Amino acid sequence: MLTKRIIPCLDIKDGRVVKGTKFLNLRDAGDPVELAQYYDNEGADELVFLDITASAEKRDIIIDVVERTAEKVFIPLTVGGGIKSIEDFRKILRAGADKVSINTAAVKNPNLIKEASEIFGSQCVVVAIDAKRHYVNEDEIDKIDKNVVKVEDGYCWFEVYIYGGKKETGIDAIEWAKKAEELGAGEILLTSIDKDGTKSGYDLVLTKEISKSVKLPVIASGGCGKPEHVYEAFTIGKADAALMAGILHYREYTIEEIKKYCADRGIPMRLL
């Protein structure tokens, strides 16, 4: 059985790691290179580095930070934010990243997924999906051309958002995940905007629905507050990896504590 992965996420703004709630109210969490090195030593399985305002600000990603980070870490590094073209993929991979994450550009130009997977291999292409619950009344379900699911407090479908969670698209996240897989994506990085930064646990309904809709590995993201949430993402959400930020950046838990909690409950983990 494949081991499940614990992946710290470094959201970068103006060259610093930041953390917010529901993609808003960002606060400083440290230097990206120092944090990356720390997590590498702590036993992280991979790292995700996201330049969270690059797409919204319509600028290129900060290559020098990627290069400095890649020099210091020896685990797989995924980089995303502001990537719009094959040339951008090439720059990021040359800077030392192992995988490239695309969200806004993939939605606007789905063929980029296909092109990138053909040129660099699907293992390099991570499609990031930022999704938010769109609630509907029970009597409207049959009239809606979306994948409506039952959740704790009613019924909803999951809408894809772009530009760092700032713009809705009207696209159904489940259908988009299936299309990304067809086009050649190697992995889905799935973030619940509703849960992001709340520390109330992952959106397990969203994670499970996407996980069962594709054969690709799914990384659960948004809402991690304690080791139990990670365990639930693996068991209930059927995720292959769990992404987290705040609980690690602010030293609320260590990677070792999270891995031990899961391993003690039968989840296969890579332990130091």
* Residue closest to 51 by CA, chosen among 107, 5, 124, 102: 102
Reply yes or no on whether 11 is catalytic: yes
DSSP letters, 2-15, are PPBEEEEEEEEETT
219 contacts 190 by C-beta, under 8 angstroms: yes
Do 183 and 114 meet the contact criterion of CB atoms below 8 Å apart? yes
Write down the catalytic residue from 11, 51, 203, 240. 11
Nearest C-alpha neighbor of 142 from the set 124, 152, 130, 157:
157
How far is residue 219's CA from residue 78's CA, in Å, rounded to a whole number?
Answer: 12
- CA gap 71, 88 in Å, rounded: 19
Q: Is residue 130 annotated as part of the catalytic site, yes or no?
A: yes
Name the active-site residue from 40, 130, 196, 203.
130
Catalytic center residues: 11, 130
